[in-house]
Amino acid sequence: MVKDGWIPTACYQCKAECAILAHVEDGVVKEIRGNPKARGKACVKGMAGISLQYNKDRLTKPLKRVGKRGEGKFKEISWDEALDMLTSKLKALKAKGEAHKLTASFFPHSITDPKWRFLNAYGGFINTALPHCDSAKIVAFIKAMGGVPNHHIPPAFDTVPKDGIIILAGRHAFGCLDDAAVPRDILEAQARGAKLVVLDPIFTADAAKADWWIPIKPSGDTALFLGMTQHIVANGLHDKDFVEKWVREGDFEQLTAYLKDKTPKAMSAICGVPEADIRKLAEMCAKAPSVGVDSFKGIMLGQALDFGHAWTILLAVTGNIDNPGGQPLPDLTPMSPVEPAPAGPDLGTLGWHKTGPDKDAFSHYSFIMEPTWYEAQAIKNGDLKVLITAECNPAMTEMGQEEWRKAVCLPGEGGEEYRLEMLVSYELMHSETSRYADLVLPDKSYFERYELLYMPWWYNFGQGVLLRQPVVKAPGECRHSNEVFIELGKRLEPKYFDFADDVAFYDIQLTGLGLSVKKLQEMGGIWSPGTMGFYKYKDAGGFGTPSKKIHLYWEDLKDVDQALPRPGLAAEYEADTQDYPFVLISYRTIFHQGTGQWTHNNPQLRDPVSGMFENPALINSATAKKLGIKDGQTVTLTSRTGQLQVRAKLTERIRPDCIGLHHGFGSSVGRVATTGKGVSDNVLIPDSGMTLKWQDVVGGESHVSTRVRLSA
Ligand SMILES: Nc1nc2c(c(=O)[nH]1)N[C@H]1C(S)=C(S)[C@@H](COP(=O)(O)OP(=O)(O)OC[C@H]3O[C@@H](n4cnc5c(=O)[nH]c(N)nc54)[C@H](O)[C@@H]3O)O[C@H]1N2
Ligand SMILES: Nc1nc2c(c(=O)[nH]1)N[C@H]1C(S)=C(S)[C@@H](COP(=O)(O)OP(=O)(O)OC[C@H]3O[C@@H](n4cnc5c(=O)[nH]c(N)nc54)[C@H](O)[C@@H]3O)O[C@H]1N2
Ligand code: SF4
Ligand SMILES: [Mo]
């Protein structure tokens, strides 16, 4: 299995999962590179993966809690004992008719991840933090174009033609956020004559590379896009041929009527972008051979679905769907099903997202999986009894992290120690979440395990299969979560787990492609047709919507006034402006992924030279002057739900009405993670279950619109 040399595999220092080559000497990883076969690059985090691999804090044995939840006191136990604990708990839950009260929260590397299969077979739910980023975009694409429910599908930057336009709307692409090859491809597109436009309240590295930086108000993106579309349509600059052929009959007329008062002037008053700039950008987009939009943060804001909708409309009226440089609609790789396929519980009737003070609001929206941000509320309601976290850290990543921590420590009502009867944390190293866990399980790292990746989010390939394979041996008693869930499946739902192991499971899935894990290894770990395959709707007789055309008007959301996108800012943005005059923006850098130990506890990524030791608050110099705040001084940030003391960093590079905080700091565990420490933005951000009105139920949230007060 483990041999020396350059071995193709997949990085997992962040969720982009780039194709890499790992150089192994004497059974030790020595160097990481991008895999040229996938046009791949490795970013600074990817190359620092070696320090994660050999980190002294790695967990190597299963641990059982001995103190109270949150105390972080554990004793080592055997895998037999750990598996017996899990099996008996899950048997008892199912016997009570409460299988749906199990949720496993993890990053699904594919839609047939063995963990997901287990949940479907057993009757529990998956939830993932991914809907934090882009569920609103996914839902918008499905509703408008019937697209595949993929995670992140940015424009294929390597196909943007001369004079094509790239709009990054709340997107730090130069932080390698979602593929280390993206910065190169954007720069090459610019060298061909493409134009980069960055919408961001902060002057980021992307803004520095841009042809045009527009410091938009947080959550102003919908208004901007509507203003642009109004200008395009009112002046007959739209792609008439595309609209006539491919937009559902009647929708364009509905849109035109709706846009009457969404003039650049009216929209400028909402988003803060000057009217003339809205018109100029609209005309640039109408004339350009392609327009591609990418957004993550822009789509996380309150009213996220409105932005996803406005974005789809702009692309449709300019004919930028499934064209080079526009919005690709990649197909799912045709994997073979593993029979029998478990159906899974019904999210619509049993799902715990229908929770909290405003639960009726949910009836209007479709969910793909449970959103993590109602976890605390579901625990309080008694709808969530067993939570298994793997590759996630909700004690720090959930908005309202304090509510989450309180919820997992709530005493049980029927004599159980806790209302959440069992909490399991599957991790590489102790995390903030594992401190609260009853059972901590040591995972194999991405250098030690098999995984079959085929979600088409290798952005420049469309369909594809990438093999993650063990390149070195795992330390101690580490076992990969997929192996353990397959073992649980064999014990609890054997009918669905009639295969030997993870590799046998992947082999079945690969049969339709004429492949196997062994063949993939011989082929260099990657299979792909090598292209996105543009304009697929022409051969397919249209789009995947019921009418086969693009739906601009969403009649099913008419009664909630969302048949067409609402231009307003996030509700929270406009509330309590007197008491909390600033808007908090959390943002990322290339050095860290999320909150986790994988990068925050990595000495190569966490040092005073890179400046990534802590996370000072970015404050505009003019704002600081008014408040008498000096560079480097400790200031207090207060929101409705929390308070933080943090160092001030004065800069011209942020809007005067915003405060920037790098997301992910503030861990209380890990040798490196605790050296500079920093603060966790989620102390300030309110919990969704408590404040649903301020969250868009399909993914918008207050990561980008929490109001704060700043005092010296
Ligand atoms: N290095 C690294 N890579 C990562 C991650 C990581 O943590 N670190 N996380 C991964 C994950 S899970 C995700 S979702 C992606 C996130 O990827 P991005 O969303 O690209 O990352 P952010 O830096 O959080 O946000 C991008 C920018 O949005 C701006 N912004 C905030 N609010 C608004 C707004 O309302 N409108 C506009 N136009 N801009 C706004 C912020 O100032 C910020 O500069 O990255 C993925 N890759
Ligand atoms: N305030 C604020 N909150 C946010 C965001 C924000 O921008 N601002 N971003 C949101 C977004 S977009 C997302 S996607 C979520 C992400 O939230 P989470 O999914 O909770 O992700 P991370 O914070 O990245 O934590 C990932 C954990 O997985 C661990 N890990 C890494 N590799 C492995 C592995 O191979 N095996 C196992 N078992 N564990 C591993 C890491 O050490 C880390 O503890 O956070 C959301 N929360
Ligand atoms: S962007 Fe960097 S850290 Fe993320 S998967 Fe790619 S190489 Fe690894
Ligand atoms: Mo995300």
Query: Residue 55 domain-assigned?
Result: no
Query: Does residue 592 sit within a domain?
Result: yes
Which two three-digit tokens encode residue 696?
A: 């868009």
Query: Does residue 593 share a domain with residue 485?
Result: no
Answer yes or no: is the C-beta of 592 below 6 A from any ligand 1 atom. yes
Dist CA 645 CA 637 (whole Å): 6
pLDDT-based confidence at 508, cuts 50/70/90? very high
21 with 67, same domain: the answer is: no
Domain boundary among 327, 359, 377: 327
Residue 371 pLDDT: 77
Residue 257 pLDDT level (bands cut at 50, 70, 90): very high
Give the list of residues 6+ apart from residue 265 with CB closer than 8 angstroms, or none. Answer: 275
Q: Which pLDDT band holds residue 325 (cuts at 50, 70, 90)?
A: very high
Is 546 within the bounds of a domain? no
- What tokens does 202 get? 């902060």
Residue 153 CA, ligand 4 centroid: distance in Å: 13
Q: In terms of domains, do 267 and 383 share one?
A: no
Q: Does the predicted TM-score (pTM) go above 0.85? A: yes
How many structural domains does the chain have? 4
Assign 439 to helix, strand or coil.
Answer: strand
Which ligand 2 atom lies nearest to the CA of residue 595? 23
Which domain CATH number covers 365? 3.40.50.740
Checking DSSP bridges between strand 74-76 and strand 63-65, what pairing results, if any?
antiparallel
Q: Does residue 498 form part of some domain?
A: yes
Amino acid of residue 673: A
In the predicted model, is pLDDT for residue 368 greater than 80? no
Confidence at 377, pLDDT banded by 50, 70, 90: confident
Identify whether residues 71 and 23 lie together within a single domain. no
pLDDT digits (tens, 9 = 90+) for 527-551: 988 777 899 999 999 999 999 999 9
Phi-psi region of 632 (alpha: psi -120 to 50; beta: other; left: phi over 0): left
Q: Same domain for 298 and 406?
A: no
Please provide the average confidence, as pLDDT, over all residues in the chain: 91
pLDDT digits (tens, 9 = 90+) for 160-196: 999 999 999 999 999 877 789 999 999 999 999 999 9
Domain boundary among 297, 327, 357: 327
**396, 457, 587, best to mutate for ligand 1 pocket (most atoms within 8 Å of CB):** 587
Contact 443 CB / ligand 2 (< 6 Å): yes
Q: Is residue 143 a part of any domain in this protein?
A: no
Over 80: is that where the pLDDT of 298 sits? no
Of 293, 327, 361, the position where a domain reaches its end is 327
CATH at 159: 3.40.228.10
Determine the residue of 13, 50, 590 to mutate for testing ligand 3's pocket, defined as the one with the most ligand atoms within 8 A of the Cβ atom. 13
Choose the weakest-confidence range: 101-115, 229-243, 313-327, 639-653: 101-115
Asked if 677 contacts 608 with a C-beta cutoff of 8 angstroms, the reply is no
Q: Which ligand is nearest to the CA of 426?
A: 2
Same domain, 179 and 316: yes
- Do 179 and 191 fall within a single domain? yes
Ligand 2, atom 47, residue with closest C-alpha: 397
pLDDT at 1 over 60: no
Same domain, 359 and 495: yes
Q: Are residues 303 and 169 in the same domain?
A: yes
Q: Residue 227 pLDDT more than 90?
A: yes
What's the pLDDT at 458? 59
| In a domain? residue 545 | no
Shared domain check, 370 and 317: no
* 149 within domain boundaries: no
Residue 560 lies in a domain: no
CB proximity list for 29: less than 8 A, separation 6 or greater: 22, 23, 49, 50, 53, 447, 471, 472
586 CB near ligand 2 (under 6 Å) = yes
C-beta 133 within 6 A of ligand 2:
yes
CATH number of the CATH domain containing 452: 3.30.200.210
Q: Are residues 21 and 73 in the same domain?
A: no
* Residues paired with 28 in a beta bridge: 25
In the predicted structure, residue 609 carries a pLDDT above the cut 80: no
Protein residues whose CB sits closer than 6 Å to any atom of ligand 3:
11, 13-14, 16-18, 42-43, 45-46, 176, 180
Which numbered ligand comes closest to the C-alpha of 602?
2
| Contact assessment for residue 481 and residue 106, using Cβ atoms and an 8 Å cutoff | yes
Average pLDDT over residues 210-226: 96
Q: Whose CA is nearest to atom 39 of ligand 2?
A: 391
pLDDT at 312 over 90: yes
Same structural domain, 164 and 297? yes
What is the mean predicted confidence (pLDDT) over 571-584?
88
The ligand whose atoms approach the alpha carbon of 129 most closely is 2
Which residue lies with its CA nearest to atom 6 of ligand 3?
A: 18
According to the model, what pLDDT value does residue 359 have?
66
Evaluated on CA atoms 142, 143, 145, 146, the torsion sign reads: positive
CATH number, domain of 656, equals: 2.40.40.20
pLDDT per position as a tens digit, 467-483 = 999 999 999 999 999 99
Nearest to 696 by CA among 571, 510, 609, 576: 571
* Structural domain range at position 320: 154-327
Query: What are the tens digits of pLDDT across the range 122-172?
Result: 999 998 766 667 777 888 888 999 876 666 788 889 999 999 999 999 999
- Is 70 exceeded by the pLDDT of residue 459? no
